[in-house]
Amino acid sequence: MSQLSTKHLLGIKDITTDDINLIFETADNFKEVINRPIKKVPSLRDITIANIFFENSTRTKLSFELAEKRLSADVVNFSSSNSSVKKGETLIDTVNNILSMKVDMVVMRHSSPGAPHFLSRNIKANIVNAGDGTHEHPTQALLDAFSIREKLGDVAGKKVAIIGDILHSRVALSNIFCLQKLGAEVMVCGPTTLLPKYISSLGVKVEHDVNKALQWCDVANILRIQLERQQIKYFPSLREYSLYYGVNKKMLDGLDKEIVVMHPGPINRGVELNSDVADSEHSIILNQVENGVAIRMAVLYLLAGVR
């Protein structure tokens, strides 16, 4: 298999296991490229990519922009905070105006679930979903699984616990789909108020005791509390959440095995994760950031071949 089965990367749910493995194999090659003294290849020098972000982003936006520049693509950055969106322009009109300037590919983050899917039905350019509300964040799931594969040799058969605010997390859903497609067992752990009502229907284990989740898993992917998406209080205080669901070094030292700790960022230190864990030998958080560039290079390169 030398090309993806889809023209867009809208979500992990829409791609095949073969697609995921092809992205990983391509990312292996690009990881070697970004560790060279000259970190650039001319693969996309005839391609123009627009990064259209309707929500704030640091890591994802920088990672995509760096991936695009490493591939020699021409890059256009768009931020809704200083655009005609503020004047009432629709999503379709905004994107069509950008595409009329002969843009080939769109990387989009939007607060509304399904926005990239809606766009894919109305424009001709390739679309990469950089996060749509609380729905999916496919490149984050790919880089997480790629990091597990790099650290442990394979994803199949591994036990992965996703701990934290599952209800408001787009990372959690994409990770569940990706890990299951690659043969991993998945558990979600958090307070009942932060777990979706029908989460068990996705074929995941559900746990409310973080110590039991850590004892069960090979990898703990710890998510932050997304206060910006919460319209009501789901727990009494951050202090109480940290007391019951925060992960610290003492908890890891009490396990009868070594586990890998991950976090998609940004970390709220002292809430879901203590510094003594985030900066420990268990953590592969900075590896995730590095792998994010290689994975996004692979995705952009492969989608450019599906016109």
> Omega into 264 within 30° of 0, i.e. cis?
no
Tell me whether residue 157 is annotated as binding.
Answer: no
Q: Is 245 within the bounds of a domain?
A: yes
Q: Are residues 95 and 149 in the same domain?
A: no
What is the structure's pLDDT at 305? 86
Q: Are residues 143 and 275 in the same domain?
A: yes
Tell me whether residue 266 is annotated as binding.
Answer: yes
Q: Is 271 within the bounds of a domain?
A: yes
Tell me whether residue 87 is annotated as binding.
Answer: yes
Stretches in the chain below the pLDDT threshold 50: none
What is the structure's pLDDT at 82? 58
Q: Are residues 177 and 127 in the same domain?
A: no
Distances (CA, A) of 18 to 149, 186, 286: 15, 20, 27
Tell me whether residue 164 is annotated as binding.
Answer: no
Tell me whether residue 231 is annotated as binding.
Answer: no
Q: Is 35 within the bounds of a domain?
A: yes
Q: Is 235 within the bounds of a domain?
A: yes
Q: Is 74 within the bounds of a domain?
A: yes
Tell me whether residue 296 is annotated as binding.
Answer: no
Q: Are residues 206 and 254 in the same domain?
A: yes
Q: Are residues 276 and 185 in the same domain?
A: yes
The parent domain of residue 142 ranges over 138-284
How many domains is the chain partitioned into structurally?
Answer: 2
Q: Are residues 271 and 148 in the same domain?
A: yes
CATH number, domain of 275, equals 3.40.50.1370
Q: Are residues 55 and 159 in the same domain?
A: no
What is the structure's pLDDT at 230? 53
What is the structure's pLDDT at 99? 83
Tell me whether residue 224 is annotated as binding.
Answer: yes
What is the structure's pLDDT at 154? 96
Is the separation of the CB atoms in 225 and 268 below 8 Å? yes
Distances (CA, A) of 101 to 157, 217, 304: 47, 49, 18
Is the separation of the CB atoms in 163 and 150 below 8 Å? no
Tell me whether residue 110 is annotated as binding.
Answer: no
Q: Are residues 272 and 293 in the same domain?
A: no
Q: Is 238 within the bounds of a domain?
A: yes
284: Cβ contacts below 8 Å, ≥ 6 apart: 147, 151, 260, 261, 262
Q: Is 3 within the bounds of a domain?
A: no
Q: Are residues 125 and 147 in the same domain?
A: no
What is the structure's pLDDT at 232? 56
Tell me whether residue 140 is annotated as binding.
Answer: yes
Is the separation of the CB atoms in 74 and 47 below 8 Å? yes
Q: Please state the pTM of the whole predicted model.
A: 0.94
Distances (CA, A) of 214 to 147, 248, 258: 19, 11, 10
Q: Is 143 within the bounds of a domain?
A: yes
Amino acid code (one letter) for 212: K
Q: Are residues 279 and 155 in the same domain?
A: yes
Q: Are residues 173 and 258 in the same domain?
A: yes
pLDDT 10s digits, 123-171: 889 999 999 988 999 999 999 999 999 999 999 999 999 999 999 899 9
Q: Are residues 130 and 56 in the same domain?
A: yes
